[in-house]
Structure 1
Amino acid sequence: MLFVIKVGGNVIDNPVLLQSFLQDLTAIQGPKILIHGGGKIATRIGDQLGIESKYVDGRRITDAATIDVVTMVYGGLVNKQLVAKLQALGCNAIGMTGADANVIPAVKRPVKQIDYGFVGDIDPARLQVGPLKAMLDAGLTPVFAPLTHDGQGQMLNTNADTIASSLAIALSAHYKVRLIYCFEKKGVLRDAQDDDSVINLIDRTVYAQLMEQKALSDGILPKLDNAFAAIESGVKEVLIGHAADVRSNTTATVAGTLIR
């Protein structure tokens, strides 16, 4: 089983949570890939450089100045700090962006109602996973920053969740893949007010029942839709859970929500 693990900015921004997460990641046996979000560091450094962060509906507008900042911060500072911390723990990590080894070519998002700037959209069928297979076979753990490229020399800011699902789909031709999304909840909750009401297993039948009962919060629905889309494209399993449970969520007895 290959584990494709995405960790969000809330963990990246918290040194204590991050160290614990990286220790758990190191302890996971077998091949694994980590995709990390950016956290608030790019915003802070942009402010220091006099570059204002702009958002529409929570999505960053990546203009020419901002793509330089996020490339520097995500692909440099954050990514290399993660790699160095993993090396210190005995995990032989290698830092990556989508431009490295041409693993994730993308296209600049077309301008419609909103111009998101230098934001990349991915077609999983175009991913070049040969270099990743070679790294995994050599015992390396690739660590991806949320950056891709357009093949013409331009870096592109790309959602880390999307990179994770695209890598999982592309690699599912070669491995049984469990795609793991680490976020701030323990999993998909039957009761949004009860953090311990985790639903440990969801398939299409259970999902239909939950939807009919209107048992799920609106916020989790896009994650579930993306999970089933990944499964329909070849990914064996998707897991949604808390970063603190990542180690147990690579086992048969999961703490979060396994989607099949």
Structure 2
Amino acid sequence: MESLSIIKIGGSILENDIELDNFLKNFAMIEGKKILVHGGGKEGDKWLKKMDIKPNFVNGRRITDEETIDVVTSIYGGLINKKLTSKLQKYNDSFIGLSGIDGNITESEKRKNKKIDFGFVGDIKKINLDLIYILLDNNYTPIISPLTHNKRGQVLNINADTISTQIACSLAEKFKVSLFFCFELMGVLKELDDSESVIELIDFKLYKKLVKKNILSKGMIPKLENAFKALKSGVENIFIGLPQIINKKNKIKYTKIIS
């Protein structure tokens, strides 16, 4: 079975040009088929504040109202996606900037929650791999922004960890998939104020224990929920850590999800 690397990049890395350029260089050097999924929450928040729109979160998940969905569509699908794609073109011309809307890669429904109205946030109901297969088979590399749609003309926001996980799960039937969640921390931390207190191996039992003890940050919980979903769906390797972990030559700590 052919190998496929799916890397999700997010957090403050997207705002640091030096770190971002180093990451993109390493990403371009990955041998074989690969996909990049990017977040953009911090950049989105910056633009929301410029427009006097206050970002709103519940348990690490964004509330997306009518004003916010217009801004995140522009920033995620436009500014960030095209910035990353243009930076990668200097390595070769195989990179294609997309969103989860393009080619109907994802079909979603607006999230339904009796307690919390998340606004224009989508839950994926269907993954369509036709375009992904065409691109990968012809040696193109998709760069995917976290936007989806409801098949009725409405753009929906989606967590970048979630869309990368769903795509990884669907592709695990055909490829030997390695999924990387890359951001500004070395991995899942035992102590939030100690950046090197990395938990190197986490199984589901330990994850539940960490949640119960309130050790995890709010943003880490949905990330780990996605990681264990990927593991259950046949994704072979799942890593959480700094962007440098995508380069095997870098000997640094990271978190690996295990069964």
In 2, are the aligned partners of 1:53 and 1:60 still within 8 Å (CA)? no
C-alpha offsets along residues 53-74 of structure 1, whole Å, 9 cap, x if unaligned?
3303243322222211111111
TM-score of the two chains, using structure 2 as the length reference: 0.86
Corresponding residue number in structure 2 for 1:217: 215
1:14 equivalenced with 2:12 (yes/no) = no
User: Which consecutive unaligned segments of at least 5 residues does structure 1 have?
Assistant: none
Structure 1 contact 34–144 (Cα < 8 Å) conserved: yes
Query: Residue type of the partner of 2:254?
Result: G
- Where do residues 121-160 of structure 1 align in structure 2 (5 Å cutoff)? 121-123=123-125, 126-160=126-160
1:117 pairs, out of 113, 116, 119, with: 119
Matched, 1:94 2:107: no
The aligned counterpart of 2:53 is 52
Shift, 1:130, TM fit: 1.9
Verify the 8 A CA contact 2:45 2:55 in the aligned structure 1.
no
SS in 2 for 1:217: coil
How many residues matched? 252
CA–CA distance in structure 1, aligned partners of residues 235 and 167 of structure 2: 10
**Equivalent residue, structure 2, for 1:259:** 257
Q: In 2, distance between residues paired with 1:151 and 1:100?
A: 12
- Report deviation, 1:190: 5.4
Q: Once structures 1 and 2 are overlaid, which stretch shifts more, 192-201 or 15-24?
A: 192-201
Unaligned segments of structure 2, at least 5 residues: none
In terms of fraction of residues, the more strand-rich structure is 2
Aligned partners of 1:188 and 1:257 also within 8 Å? yes
Return the offset for 1:152. 0.8
> Of the candidates 62, 65, 68, which is equivalent to residue 64 of structure 2?
62
Percent identity over the alignment is: 42
Q: Closer, same or farther in 2 for the Cα pair 1:77/1:187, shift >3 Å?
A: same
Asked if the contact 2:181/2:239 (under 8 Å) is kept, the reply is yes
CA distance in 2, matches of 1:19, 1:245: 15
Determine if contact 2:11/2:184 at 8 Å carries over to the other structure: no
